[in-house]
């Protein structure tokens, strides 16, 4: 099927922040993306026309708000190709979604001696909630090592799987070095020992088409703000039968069926896991972001982002004072760098002075940095609205900066 | 000889623009001796997530003495300012030093907003805790 060339420059005009700051070169998209006008308008429109509390009052406005909120849930379900919107639990983001699974599924299902496998690629958000559970329950956390290029060591993974393995918690796309693990292989291997799989799609969500039914995982989480949506909203997808068996993790309004001092019965999923007034406007903003993404030619978008990454990495590979950290095949659109004689923080300071926004640090993935024997890298992460001149400006600024810091 | 507070103030104020100030900080970093590896220990390390910073304090004749280092040259340049502000001060004077105010006056306020990440806030807190 012929596709239109992807017009990132035109897309850029859809982003008020970028339009207002034409000199800004924003290359920190893995931290958070900018928001298209459609998202800002959706939230504003909701507050101007529909605002009311959801699932409660019987008046017309409350009805409309509930419809809009539940409509947002359906949009998330459609975006992930979930079997039903009942499989979508709104959360504050990936972090809260993982904590939900750890506290609800984990505490009710896991016992001393059970093992959770995580990969060395994981963000702290997909490590620490499991550690907290492990301290409490006497579980073992086992880490899958990496190959030198940042790929998952699949032989080591196969060797770690065993009859005590209850869960494999794995990223779909590493926020620090861009590796996309072979999820199909990871999930198939986990199934041979009956382990559940949680996929952290925080980074993948803006770049990859996600189909939870085809994937075959058990849980999947993402944050809206990394996929052009607002902060404060994200989602957990889980299979209905898993959600049905999971106890509540936070108590309050919305999550109950009936409360009495003799005992309380709980609402059905997903409401059982959404205590209190939910972030309604944010959910509507998220749905607008996902609709905006769905309307794009996703294959052309992915090709555009990958072409930018290759343009950057090809130029950098020619330099002997720059090292690419993470060179796995089929990487996502981000590039992590170490320098032979400059500190990433210093490089970023000089780039910032020229209006180029990148991230330095351990990227909340300290075990990964330890594996590469680094304390920090400089990360360039790309998005739909980046253009090839962003890369060329960055490369020129890097030339000057590395000379200055030589 | 390390440059004193007045010299640093004059130099930084006469340099405009972020890039120029960054260059100056990198130059200033050259004045600060490198801590030997034996002193770059975990107990001397101050937590920041973007770069590593080491701080050693002791009192000599009732005056605060500092040794500082960072693996980042820009941060090391800022440490020259920390040194100029606090090194050689009597205990009673430390709490009264408005380091953040001075940074702002020098046009370096942007390092303050990110000071939790770059370790500067932790350095200044540790020094104040010493006094
Ligand atoms: C791979 C990955 N997982 C989890 C998170 C946590 O996301 P949030 O802070 O939005 O909950 C991030 C965000 O940096 C991430 O990149």
b/e code A31-51 from CB counts within 10 Å (16+ = b):
bbbbbbeebbebbeebeeebe
Looking at the complex, does the CB of residue A353 fall below 8 Å from at least one CB of chain B?
A: yes
The percentage of residues in chain A with a pLDDT greater than 90, rounded to a whole number, is: 92
Return d(Cα A344, Cα B100) in angstroms, integer.
Answer: 24
Please provide the distance, in angstroms rounded to a whole number, between the alpha carbons at the two ends of chain B. Answer: 25
Please state the rounded mean pLDDT for residues B8-32. Answer: 93
User: What digits encode the pLDDT tens for the residues A301-324?
Assistant: 999 999 999 999 999 999 999 999
Please provide the distance, in angstroms rounded to a whole number, between the alpha carbons at the two ends of chain A. Answer: 49
Please state the rounded mean pLDDT for residues A392-399. Answer: 98
Please state the rounded mean pLDDT for residues A268-297. Answer: 96
CA geometry: angle A259, A261, A267, nearest 5 deg: 20
**pLDDT band (50, 70, 90) for residue A4:** low
Helix A344-353 / helix B73-86 crossing angle, nearest 10 deg: 90
Return d(Cα A311, Cα B92) in angstroms, integer.
Answer: 57
One of A342, A364, A368, A384 is an active-site residue; which one? A364
- Closest by CA position to B108, among listed B127, B89, B80: B80
* Domains of chain A, each with CATH number or no CATH: 8-30+297-405 (3.90.1150.10), 41-294 (3.40.640.10)
Residue A86 pairs with which residues in a beta bridge?
none
Return d(Cα A218, Cα B128) in angstroms, integer.
Answer: 51
CA geometry: angle A292, A308, A173, nearest 5 deg: 65
Q: What does each C-alpha distance from A362 to A177, A180, A227, A358 come to in angstroms?
A: 11, 18, 22, 13
Return d(Cα B26, Cα A229) in angstroms, integer.
Answer: 39
- Which of A184-193, A257-266, B65-74 shows the lowest mean pLDDT across its residues? A257-266
- Which of A12-16, A148-152, B126-130 shows the lowest mean pLDDT across its residues? B126-130
User: What digits encode the pLDDT tens for the residues B55-75?
Assistant: 999 999 999 999 999 999 999
**pLDDT band (50, 70, 90) for residue B48:** low
Return d(Cα B39, Cα A327) in angstroms, integer.
Answer: 35
**pLDDT band (50, 70, 90) for residue A5:** low
Q: Is the CB of A175 under 6 A from ligand 1?
A: yes
Q: Does residue B118 surpass a pLDDT of 80?
A: no
Average pLDDT, chain A: 96
Q: Does residue A11 surpass a pLDDT of 60?
A: yes
The DSSP 8-state label assigned to residue A322 in this structure reads E
Radius of gyration from C-alpha coordinates of chain A: 22
Q: Does residue A277 surpass a pLDDT of 70?
A: yes
Which backbone phi and psi does A95 adopt, to 5 degrees? -60, -50
ipTM value, please give it.
0.90
Residue among A169, A226, A286 to mutate when testing ligand 1 (max atoms within 8 A of CB):
A226
Partner residue opposite A350 with nearest CB, options B19, B71, B75: B19
Q: Which H or E run contains A337?
A: strand A334-339
- Residue B115 pLDDT: 64
User: What digits encode the pLDDT tens for the residues A326-348?
Assistant: 999 999 999 999 999 999 999 99
Q: Does residue B49 surpass a pLDDT of 70?
A: no
Do A376 and B17 lie within an 8 Å CB cutoff? no
- The residue that leads in pLDDT, B2 or A393, is A393
Looking at the complex, does the CB of residue B73 fall below 8 Å from at least one CB of chain A?
A: yes
Please state the rounded mean pLDDT for residues A110-138. Answer: 98
- Residue A2 pLDDT: 45
Q: Is the CB of A95 under 6 A from ligand 1?
A: yes
Q: How many domains does chain B have?
A: 1
- Residue B131 pLDDT: 80
- At a CB cut-off of 8 Å and minimum separation 6, what does A170 contact? A117, A118, A119, A121, A122, A126, A181, A183, A186, A197, A198, A199, A200
- Residue A361 pLDDT: 87
Return d(Cα A27, Cα A381) in angstroms, integer.
Answer: 5
Looking at the complex, does the CB of residue B71 fall below 8 Å from at least one CB of chain A?
A: yes
H and E: helices and strands count for chain B: 8, 3
User: What digits encode the pLDDT tens for the residues A368-385?
Assistant: 999 999 989 999 999 999
Return d(Cα A348, Cα A359) in angstroms, integer.
Answer: 7
Q: Which residue matches tokens 């030093």?
A: B97
**pLDDT band (50, 70, 90) for residue B82:** very high
Please state the rounded mean pLDDT for residues A13-21. Answer: 96
Cis preceding linkage at A234, omega within 30: no
**pLDDT band (50, 70, 90) for residue B121:** confident
H and E: helices and strands count for chain A: 16, 15
Q: Is the CB of A200 under 6 A from ligand 1?
A: yes
Q: Which H or E run contains A237?
A: strand A234-238
Return d(Cα A374, Cα A343) in angstroms, integer.
Answer: 11
Among chain A residues, the shortest Cα distance to B111 is held by A349
Q: Does residue B50 surpass a pLDDT of 80?
A: no
From the candidates A349, A360, A369, which should be mutated to test the interface with B, based on the most B CB atoms within 10 A?
A349
- Residue A222 pLDDT: 98
Tell me the pTM. 0.94
Q: Which CATH number belongs to the domain containing residue B77 in this structure?
A: 3.90.1010.10
Identity of the highest mean pLDDT range in A125-134, A369-378, B120-129: A125-134
Residue B43 pairs with which residues in a beta bridge?
none
Return d(Cα B79, Cα B99) in angstroms, integer.
Answer: 11
Q: Does residue A50 surpass a pLDDT of 50?
A: yes
Return d(Cα A42, Cα A61) in angstroms, integer.
Answer: 16
Return d(Cα A99, Cα A327) in angstroms, integer.
Answer: 31
Locate all alpha helices (DSSP H) within chain B, ordered by sequence.
Answer: 5-14, 18-29, 73-86, 91-94, 99-105, 110-113, 115-118, 120-130
- Residue A1 pLDDT: 44
List of chain A residues whose C-beta atoms are within 8 Å of the C-beta of residue B72: 343, 345-346
Return d(Cα A361, Cα A378) in angstroms, integer.
Answer: 7
- Residue B1 pLDDT: 65
Give the burial class of A365: count Cβ atoms within 10 A of its Cβ; 0-12 exposed, 13-18 middle, 19 or more buried.
buried
Q: What is the DSSP string of A120-180?
A: TT--GGGTHHHHHHHHHHT-EEEEE-B-TTS-B-HHHHHHH--TTEEEEEEESS-TTT---
Return d(Cα A288, Cα A306) in angstroms, integer.
Answer: 25
Cα-to-chain-centroid distance, residue A101: 16
Domain range for B94 is 5-36+45-130
Please state the rounded mean pLDDT for residues A6-10. Answer: 88
Do B72 and A343 lie within an 8 Å CB cutoff? yes
**pLDDT band (50, 70, 90) for residue B120:** confident
Q: Is the CB of A368 under 6 A from ligand 1?
A: no
**Does residue A59 have an active-site annotation?**
no
Q: What does each C-alpha distance from A240 to A102, A106, B10 come to in angstroms?
A: 17, 16, 67
- Indicate the pairing of strand A234-238 with strand A88-91: antiparallel
Chain B nearest CA to A360, separation (Å): 6
């Amino acid at each position: 099927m012929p596709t239109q060339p992807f017009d990132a420059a035109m897309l850029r005009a859809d982003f008020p922040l970028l339009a207002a700051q034409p000199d800004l070169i924003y290359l920190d998209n893995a931290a958070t993306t900018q928001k298209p006008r459609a998202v800002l308008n959706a939230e504003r429109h909701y507050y101007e026309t529909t605002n009311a509390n959801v699932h409660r009052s019987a008046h017309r406005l409350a009805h409309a708000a509930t419809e809009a909120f539940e409509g947002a849930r359906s949009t998330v379900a459609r975006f992930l190709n979930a079997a039903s919107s009942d499989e979508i639990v709104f959360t504050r983001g990936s972090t809260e979604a993982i904590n939900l699974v750890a506290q609800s599924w984990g505490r009710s299902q896991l016992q001393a001696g059970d093992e959770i496998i995580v990969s060395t690629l994981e963000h702290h958000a997909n490590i620490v909630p499991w550690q907290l559970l492990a301290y409490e329950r006497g579980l073992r956390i086992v880490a899958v090592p990496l190959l030198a290029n940042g790929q998952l060591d699949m032989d080591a993974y196969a060797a770690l799987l065993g009859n005590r393995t209850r869960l494999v918690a794995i990223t779909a796309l590493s926020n620090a070095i861009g590796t996309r693990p072979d999820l199909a292989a990871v999930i198939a291997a986990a199934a041979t020992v009956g382990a559940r799989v949680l996929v952290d799609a925080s980074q993948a969500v803006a770049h990859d088409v996600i189909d939870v039914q085809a994937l075959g995982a058990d849980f999947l989480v993402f944050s809206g703000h990394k996929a052009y949506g607002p902060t404060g909203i994200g989602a957990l997808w889980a299979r209905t039968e898993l959600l049905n068996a999971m106890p509540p993790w936070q108590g309050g309004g919305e999550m109950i069926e009936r409360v009495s001092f003799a005992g309380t019965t709980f609402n059905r999923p997903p409401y059982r896991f959404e205590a209190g007034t939910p972030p309604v406007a944010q959910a509507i903003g998220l749905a607008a972001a996902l609709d905006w993404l769905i309307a794009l030619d996703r294959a052309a978008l992915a090709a555009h982002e990958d072409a930018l990454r290759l343009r950057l990495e090809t130029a950098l590979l020619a330099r002997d004072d720059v090292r690419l950290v993470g060179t796995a095949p089929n990487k996502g659109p981000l590039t992590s760098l170490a320098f032979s004689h400059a500190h990433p923080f210093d490089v970023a300071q000089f780039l910032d002075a020229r209006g180029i926004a990148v991230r330095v640090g351990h990227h909340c993935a300290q075990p990964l940095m330890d594996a590469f024997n680094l304390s920090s890298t400089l990360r360039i992460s790309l998005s739909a609205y980046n253009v090839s001149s962003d890369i060329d400006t960055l490369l020129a600024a890097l030339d000057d900066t590395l000379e200055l810091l030589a | 000889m390390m440059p004193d507070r007045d010299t640093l103030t004059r130099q930084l104020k006469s340099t405009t623009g972020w890039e120029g100030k960054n260059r100056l900080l990198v130059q200033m970093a050259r004045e600060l001796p490198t801590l030997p590896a034996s002193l770059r220990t975990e107990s001397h390390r101050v937590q920041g997530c973007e770069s590593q910073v080491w701080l050693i304090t002791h009192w000599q004749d009732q005056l605060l003495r500092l040794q500082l280092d960072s693996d980042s040259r820009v941060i090391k340049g800022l440490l020259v300012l920390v040194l100029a502000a606090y090194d050689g001060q009597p205990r009673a004077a430390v709490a009264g030093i408005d380091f953040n105010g001075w940074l702002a006056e020098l046009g370096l306020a942007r390092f303050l907003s990110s000071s939790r990440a770059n370790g500067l806030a932790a350095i200044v807190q540790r020094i104040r805790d010493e006094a």
